[in-house]
A and B are shown apart, each in its own frame.
Chain A
């Protein structure tokens, strides 16, 4: 059988020509063939990704819609789910436990709901990011597109989810006496920076998760620890007043706490700048840019290997 391989191969390689003595790579070079599936340069990669922006957006919206497509109430759940979430936290922390700690009820309830929603945005981006490659390996092995489309698309889905939560959040703020003001516009840059931060984190987690799917099991515990450490349901400076100052500093400057505080500051009347750490906007921007860029480059470095799973 093996000799026919040779004969057959030769018969079809056509009459002897100048190409005969060439090695595979020489032949490829001669006819301008490129290595299949090679990783593009960083700039080319960004350009490819931009070319796929419609796909990224359509994919994120499709995922969002598919979520509740079997429910009778359909897309109404987009708003009802965060509303129920807010109610549960109000019931436990507002009515039963009463853990206001240095805040009035009017401040604490919007404070709590903002914290939950803003943290959930990061949390679900990370969770979706971990599975974005490993959970879509069929797609990765079937079609060509910059792989970063997937984690970015999932972060975008969470951003759209957050927009529904914001409707509930604004209603809660008004309900507890914080009325629309110009400062509300500050929510936009805060969330834009958080989105950039989340995408970077999702990209990092996507690469790690594609090699080690076990991370999906581990992440809920890490995220919960992060949540409790970030002051979602308490004020960090008040809670840690009798502890060494650096502990409160570390917790306050962690990105989750920074973005939560910015949105609270923007929305809640009784939550003034005295609650924010120094240089808060600069720190928020630094987190977003550093994690966003590092995450993107880190993900791109393994671009050609994601199909391997």
Chain B
């Protein structure tokens, strides 16, 4: 494993003591009533004002990722994995510390850009544009996206609004759109477990393809088997701290011991 990562030995992502803090409104102590909110405003003491609560999601994470590596992120729910991915992608600014990247890392996923009231057809275009593809790129890949999703296998569903799709169908279309683009640094956040078995096999294959094209891959997953199959290095996050960083076998063994799997 170590040899594999050392062959290129060109860093693509450097995280330097990254801290990320969320500020959440309207959760200040006590009851959520209007009077409680008012008294908080009046009491505005020292430190954080008016019912704003801080959530320290990532605490001082440092690592360097090299070209050609596939890195798994593991940890229990709420350990800061997705947040760390967003920071690497530059979508969420760190409170302190820095993330350096080669090119523009991107998260695999377009869910947020799609609109359920629009047809699948228009969502393919909208999603593609949102990911930064040009109109020509989308036009040339349109058929491939639709075929890959298999939406039209049961009739002409692509011209119906997405709200009429079953949740599985919608998930398949979303994945197909998201996976249509190639990325330098690719980050996948548990995107694998969608759709029926047939589609899952197909999407796992597509992810392997994307992996090969991408310089560096980050994968967040709760499925240890997926991590073992895909990654050669694993970061274990717990409560926002980097607990362990090492080869897949080593870290997964420790993780499984700790979580009692």
Q: Establish whether residues A59 and B126, one from each chain, have CB atoms under 8 Å apart when the complex forms.
A: yes
Assembled-state Cα–Cα distance A261/B100 (Å): 53
Known contacts A8-B244, A142-B110, A304-B93; A213 and B88 CB within 8 A of each other: no
Of the listed stretches B2-10, B144-152, B206-214, chain A binds: B2-10
Q: Are A37 and B102 within 8 A (Cβ)?
A: no
A39 to chain B, nearest CB (A): 10
Q: Is the CB–CB distance between B99 and A37 below 8 Å?
A: yes
Within the assembled complex, what's the spacing in Å between the Cα atoms of A19 and B11?
10
Tell me the minimal C-beta distance from A149 to chain B in angstroms. 9
Asked whether, in the complex, the Cβ of B6 is within 8 Å of the Cβ of A14, the reply is: yes
Q: Which of B66, B100, B118 is most buried by chain A, counting CB atoms within 10 A of its CB? A: B100
Q: How far is the CA of A304 from the CA of B89 in the complex (A)?
A: 12
Q: Are A34 and B101 in contact (CB under 8 A)?
A: yes
- The minimal Cβ–Cβ distance linking B216 to chain A, given in whole angstroms, is 12
> Per-position contact with A for B50-81: 1 when CB-CB < 8 Å, else 0?
00000000000011101000000000000000
Given contacts A14-B5, A143-B130, contact A305 B93 (CB under 8 A): yes
Chain B's nearest CB lies how many Å from the CB of A100? 42
Assess whether A136 is interfacial by the CB under 8 Å rule: yes
B233, A33: Cβ atoms closer than 8 Å: no
Surface stretch bound by A, among B28-36, B197-205, B217-225, B245-253? B245-253
CB neighbors of B among A31-78 (8 A): 31-38, 52, 54-55, 58-59, 62-63, 65-66, 69-70
Contact B113 A142 (CB under 8 A): yes
Indicate which residue in A36, A37, A54 contacts B135 across the interface (CB closer than 8 Å). A54
Assembled-state Cα–Cα distance A37/B111 (Å): 21
Chain A residue with the shortest CB-CB distance to B238: A1
Q: Does A98 contact B (CB under 8 A)?
A: no
Rounded to whole Å, the gap between the CB of B116 and the closest CB of chain A is: 8
Cα of A63 to Cα of B122 in the assembled complex, Å: 12
Q: Which residues of B have CB within 8 Å of A54? A: 129, 134-135
* Nearest CB of chain B from residue A28's CB, rounded to whole Å: 4
A89 to B129 Cα, complex, angstroms: 40
Across the interface, B6 reaches (CB within 8 A) one of A1, A15, A35, A62, namely A15
B141 to chain A, nearest CB (A): 15
Q: Is A5 an interface residue (CB 8 A)?
A: yes
A138 contacts chain B at the CB level, 8 A cutoff: yes
Partner of A5, one of B11, B115, B131, B245: B245
User: Please, what's the 1-or-0 string for A1-28, where 1 marks a CB less than 8 Å from any CB in chain B?
Assistant: 1001101110111110101000111011
- Given contact pairs A27-B64, A65-B118, A36 touches B101 in the complex (Cβ within 8 A): yes
Chain B CB within 10 A, most for which of A1, A13, A25, A63: A13
Closest to A308 in B: B93
Task: Please state if A27 and B92 are interface contacts (CB–CB under 8 Å).
Answer: no
Asked if B38 CB lies within 8 Å of chain A CBs, one says no
Is residue A179 within 8 Å, beta carbon to beta carbon, of the partner chain?
no
Please name the residue on chain B nearest to A55 by beta carbon.
Answer: B129
The winner among A27, A55, A145 for most chain B CB atoms within 10 A is: A55
Q: Determine whether B90 belongs to the interface, using a CB cutoff of 8 Å to chain A.
A: yes
**A307 at the B interface (CB under 8 A):** yes
**A192: CB under 8 A from chain B?**
no
A145 to B132, CA, bound (A): 7
Q: Decide: A66 near B5, CB < 8 A? Known: A8-B247, A308-B23.
A: no
**Chain A contacts for B161, CB-based, 8 A:** 69
- A33 proximity list for chain B (CB < 8 A): 11-14, 100-102
6 additional A-B residue pairs with CB within 8 Å, beyond A66-B115, A66-B117: A4-B244, A4-B250, A27-B64, A27-B100, A31-B11, A141-B91
List chain A positions with a Cβ less than 8 A from chain B.
1, 4-5, 7-9, 11-15, 17, 19, 23-25, 27-28, 31-38, 52, 54-55, 58-59, 62-63, 65-66, 69-70, 136, 138-145, 213, 304-305, 307-309
Seen from chain B, the residues whose Cβ lies within 8 Å of a Cβ on chain A are 1-2, 5-6, 9-17, 22-23, 25, 62-64, 66, 86-93, 98-102, 104-107, 109-113, 115, 117-118, 122, 125-126, 129-132, 134-135, 161, 233, 242-247, 250-251, 254
Q: List 27 A-B contacts (CB under 8 A).
A: A4-B244, A8-B247, A11-B2, A13-B64, A19-B9, A24-B17, A24-B98, A25-B100, A27-B14, A28-B100, A33-B101, A36-B101, A37-B90, A52-B129, A52-B132, A54-B135, A55-B129, A58-B125, A65-B117, A65-B118, A136-B112, A139-B130, A141-B92, A143-B107, A143-B110, A305-B93, A308-B92
